[in-house]
């Protein structure tokens, strides 16, 4: 069985390659795991020896099928645990990420299946992140963000791509949760600002950087 260190490495490689090209650089991997780059290199060489990753020296690293299986299983645990903590234990959605970071390594498949059933087989976690299926299928979908979508169109928030407690608290306070509806009334790239308007509230400004972390879909029907 892979240690929780190994699980964290594999999960972060998966996360960092989501959507992007397949090779993850040592620099970004080390930063994501909060270790120095040399540590990541050493570890990746060990993981390559064990068949979890393919390492292109000085280029980057990618998951093998076996590494991807482990990574998806850990990610599934992480996101189902987050959902449990928010939906059942009513915890603050900004704090559950840190909890799940530990629990994802301690939960058995048996417990996970029962949690999944208890929750009604959810497709996404509280942040809108897709939950990999038991079989290891990750429903990857490309969405526009508040930084890239069309202006003045009714939108629904589907996902917040940023796990830090600060950002999530900010989103919560401004009613920017998955499910809420809004539209972007204007955008000023020079100033780096977007103006948004949510249902019950008045217009507010948002940095383009923050806007890019909030994914939306056009409100149809």
Partner DNA sequence: CGCGCTATTTTGAGTAGTCAAAATAATTTA
Partner DNA sequence: TAAATTATTTTGACTACTCAAAATAGCGCG
Q: Does 46 bind DNA (CB under 7 A)?
A: yes
Using CB distances below 5 to 8 A depending on partner kind, what does residue 161 bind out of a copy of itself, Mn ion, DNA, none?
none
Using CB distances below 5 to 8 A depending on partner kind, what does residue 129 bind out of DNA, Mn ion, a copy of itself, none?
Mn ion
Burial bucket for residue 200 (CB in 10 Å: 0-12, 13-18, 19+): exposed
Q: Does 36 bind DNA (CB under 7 A)?
A: yes
Using CB distances below 5 to 8 A depending on partner kind, what does residue 42 bind out of Mn ion, a copy of itself, DNA, none?
DNA
Q: Cα angle vertex 162, ends 205, 77, to 5°?
A: 150
User: What contacts 128, CB < 8 A, 6 or more positions away?
Assistant: 157, 158, 159, 160, 178, 215
Cα 21 to Cα 113: distance, rounded to the nearest angstrom: 32
When binding is defined by CB under 7 A, the residue of 22, 45, 164, 209 that contacts DNA is: 45
Cα 170 to Cα 15: distance, rounded to the nearest angstrom: 23
Q: How many residues bind DNA (CB under 7 A)?
A: 24
- In the complex with a copy of itself, the residue whose CB is nearer, 106 or 205, is 106
Smallest gap, in angstroms, from Cβ of residue 55 to DNA? Answer: 7
Using CB distances below 5 to 8 A depending on partner kind, what does residue 125 bind out of DNA, Mn ion, a copy of itself, none?
Mn ion
Residues 131, 83 contacting (CB under 8 angstroms): yes
Q: How far apart are the first and last CA of the chain?
A: 48
By rule CB under 7 A, what string of x and - marks binding of each residue 53-92 to DNA?
Answer: --x-xx-x--------------------------------
């Amino acid at each position: 069985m892979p240690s929780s260190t190994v699980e964290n490495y594999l999960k972060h490689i998966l996360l960092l390659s989501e959507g992007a090209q397949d090779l993850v650089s040592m620099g970004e991997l080390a930063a994501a795991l909060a270790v120095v780059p040399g540590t990541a290199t050493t570890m990746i060489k060990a993981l390559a020896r064990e068949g979890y990753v393919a390492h292109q020296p000085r280029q980057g690293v990618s998951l093998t099928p076996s590494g991807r299986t482990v990574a998806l299983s850990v990610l599934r645990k992480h996101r189902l645990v987050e959902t449990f903590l928010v939906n059942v234990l009513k915890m603050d959605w900004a704090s559950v990420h840190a909890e799940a970071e530990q629990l994802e390594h301690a939960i058995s498949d048996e417990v996970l299946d029962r949690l999944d059933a208890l929750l009604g087989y959810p497709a996404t976690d509280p942040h809108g992140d897709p939950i990999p299926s038991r079989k290891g299928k990750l429903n990857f979908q490309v969405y526009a963000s508040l930084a890239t979508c069309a202006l003045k169109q009714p939108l629904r928030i589907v996902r917040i791509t940023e796990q830090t407690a600060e950002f999530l608290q900010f989103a919560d306070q401004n009613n920017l949760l998955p499910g809420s509806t809004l539209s972007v009334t204007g955008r000023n790239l020079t100033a780096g600002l977007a103006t948004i308007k949510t249902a019950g509230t008045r217009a507010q400004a948002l940095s383009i950087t923050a806007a890019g972390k909030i994914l939306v879909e056009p409100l149809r029907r």
